[in-house]
Structure 1
Amino acid sequence: MSKMAKFCTSAAVALALALPAAAADVTAETVVATVNGKNITMGDLLVVKEGLPAQYQQLPDDVLMNGLIEQLVQQTVLADSVEGKLTKREEIGLGATERAFLAGTALERVAATAVTEEAVKAAYDEQYAKAEPGKEYHARHILVPTEDEAKAVEKAIADGGDFATVANEKTQDPSGKTNGGDLGWFGAGMMVPEFEEAVSALQPGQVSQPIQTQFGWHVIKLEEVRDATAPTLDEVRPQIETQLQQAAVQAELAKATESAKIERTEGIDPSVLHNQTLLNE
């Protein structure tokens, strides 16, 4: 091989080594930096990038990559400086962080597989489509601080007073002072239990006796009742998905707990929780 050919071959090899790796050639294990013999990989960068706020994710690729590498280099240098030198408190804290992360990961995996279209539709049918329609109520109320004031309101209405007029004059509910105490339409679970129970016992046009709740004393007039319209699947999809995830998580937690060998130490005085000096021993 001529000297010129050898030179060209060597130059081509050197150029190839100097070029950045093509995106298709990079894997999660590709090393992007080494600190004290410890590799920082492309996978490390990607995991950190996932947790960045949106404004940082939109930085130019070269700026973002250099920033991530620098962040991980600094973290590695600092981590090395305390490796093997952690206090008892710090070692326990590190273990607690790892345990919480692993537990959270386990639950996230369960939740991720709990929501399927079939499960969502089945839950919707059970809760809404096939269920007996509930009731919705249109009512007014007058809120006062004491039972004696509520009884006086009740008497004023029984003596022929117009409910809306009395409400505008007497109610302590700010939103009811200009609309005759009108609460609009509401369904089950939208009012405190005592109020809801009182409303459901009335017939349209009836006025209740004074009812006490956490807000004070109420006199209630039921205006109308109608069958509640079932929401569409899309309207309640987020709630149903949350219910499915919560149910799956609880089931998995119960299953894992039941299959685990758990031994609890008895006889430890709970007041020891206040003794933080144990972490300094």
Structure 2
Amino acid sequence: MQKPLTYLASLALAVTLALPVTAEDKPNVDTVVATVNGKDITLGHMIIARATLPQQYQDLPDEVLYKGILDQLVQQTALADTHEGDLPKRVTLSLENETRSLTAGEVIEGVMAAPVEEDAIKAAYDAQYKDQEAGEEYNASHILVETKEEADAIKEALDEGADFAELAREKSTGPSGPGGGSLGWFGAGMMVPTFEAAVVEMEPGAVSAPVETQFGWHVIKLNETRKTKAPQMEDVREELELQVRQTLVQTRIEEITEKADVDLMSEQVIDPALIKNIDWLE
């Protein structure tokens, strides 16, 4: 009576092993996906290969990328196997540079991953926002036309009681016209100087005389103003943490470099243009 059970159990195991490995299974990255002349190509090799692709290729369907990357790694392994003799100098130097870069990157990743002290975040917040003076923001609408004559006629119609938003939708040549001329909120430096200067001098509810800029002639209505406030620390916490970590990384780089035994061979005079001669490494 044991044989049927054993057979069914073995069949179930075989079916399980035949199923595709999915992302949820979190397989070992050392899982071998192919061998070429006895050399293993692993899932990890494929993950790295995909991660280094340009973004436009990473957006391809998974099944397309899987086959393409595997084919490439198989071909590269087969080709590399046929190489005879020592590697060219440019290849060995490239490998050294790549190893140096990746290893240094691991040190930086370690610093970036370390917890950030609350005091450091508070200090970064105070440095950036504590002494920030309150600024002014403006909510305005405008009607843009090509000539001063058109702008004068619009100003006259408004003075006689015409609705600003309706007139903007009818007359304005600017992209804000369909929205009644509304420009929303803006602060200093966000508008061209002539336009901004006119707005700064206005009172909420007022309509300006025609104002000329490089875009044409504007009739401006200042809807309201408000004072800007520094953001709450929690609202900018992620930004502050990144700033602190970047500072820690730079400090760590400087500390390690300072302690390193560095000899720049200053007695040697090297022509900077020499670094362009890649053909010398052949």
Distance of 1:194 and 1:262 partners within structure 2: 50
User: Match of 1:46?
Assistant: none
Secondary structure, aligned partner of 1:185: strand
Counterparts in 2 of 1:83 and 1:183: CA distance versus 1, 3 Å: farther
Counterparts in 2 of 1:87 and 1:240: CA distance versus 1, 3 Å: same
Distance of 1:217 and 1:133 partners within structure 2: 32
Distance of 1:196 and 1:249 partners within structure 2: 43
Structure 2 counterparts to residues 246-261 of structure 1, below 5 A = 246-253=246-253, 261=263
- How far residue 225 of structure 1 moved from its aligned partner, in angstroms, is 1.1
Preserved CA contact (<8 Å) 2:125 2:240:
yes
Structure 2 counterparts to residues 81-92 of structure 1, below 5 A = 81=81, 85-92=86-93
User: Match of 1:74?
Assistant: 40
- How far residue 241 of structure 1 moved from its aligned partner, in angstroms, is 1.9
Paired amino acid for 1:244? V
Counterparts in 2 of 1:184 and 1:56: CA distance versus 1, 3 Å: same
- How far residue 187 of structure 1 moved from its aligned partner, in angstroms, is 4.1
- CA offsets per residue over residues 9-28 of structure 1, 9 Å max, x none? xxxxxxxxxxxxxxxxxxxx
User: Match of 1:155?
Assistant: 152
Q: How many residues align?
A: 211
Structure 2 counterparts to residues 62-211 of structure 1, below 5 A = 64-65=27-28, 68-70=30-32, 74-75=40-41, 78=77, 81=81, 85-113=86-114, 115-128=116-129, 131-142=132-143, 149=146, 151-152=148-149, 154-161=151-158, 163-174=164-175, 176-187=176-187, 191=190, 194=193, 197-198=196-197, 201-204=200-203, 205=206, 207=208, 209-211=211-213
Counterparts in 2 of 1:100 and 1:152: CA distance versus 1, 3 Å: farther
Distance of 2:119 and 2:195 partners within structure 1: 34
Distance of 1:165 and 1:180 partners within structure 2: 6
Q: Percent same amino acid at aligned positions? A: 36
Distance of 2:194 and 2:245 partners within structure 1: 32
Preserved CA contact (<8 Å) 2:143 2:172:
yes
Counterparts in 2 of 1:277 and 1:194: CA distance versus 1, 3 Å: farther
Distance of 2:270 and 2:84 partners within structure 1: 35
Range with bigger deviation, 176-185 or 154-163: 154-163
Distance of 2:241 and 2:187 partners within structure 1: 22
- How far residue 165 of structure 1 moved from its aligned partner, in angstroms, is 4.2
CA RMSD of aligned residues (A): 4.2
Preserved CA contact (<8 Å) 2:144 2:216:
yes
Paired amino acid for 1:184? G
- How far residue 231 of structure 1 moved from its aligned partner, in angstroms, is 2.9
Preserved CA contact (<8 Å) 2:141 2:183:
yes
Paired amino acid for 2:40? Q
Counterparts in 2 of 1:135 and 1:252: CA distance versus 1, 3 Å: farther
User: Match of 1:58?
Assistant: 24
User: Match of 1:268?
Assistant: 272
Counterparts in 2 of 1:187 and 1:69: CA distance versus 1, 3 Å: same
Counterparts in 2 of 1:192 and 1:105: CA distance versus 1, 3 Å: farther
Structure 2 counterparts to residues 29-40 of structure 1, below 5 A = none
Preserved CA contact (<8 Å) 1:199 1:222:
no
Preserved CA contact (<8 Å) 2:140 2:222:
yes
Counterparts in 2 of 1:158 and 1:142: CA distance versus 1, 3 Å: closer
Counterparts in 2 of 1:223 and 1:113: CA distance versus 1, 3 Å: same
Secondary structure, aligned partner of 2:180: coil
User: Match of 1:237?
Assistant: 237
In structure 2, stretches of 5+ residues that fail to align are: 1-20, 43-73
Counterparts in 2 of 1:110 and 1:183: CA distance versus 1, 3 Å: same
- Report the TM-score when normalising by structure 2: 0.55
- How far residue 115 of structure 1 moved from its aligned partner, in angstroms, is 3.0
Distance of 2:242 and 2:191 partners within structure 1: 24
Paired amino acid for 2:273? D
Secondary structure, aligned partner of 1:183: strand
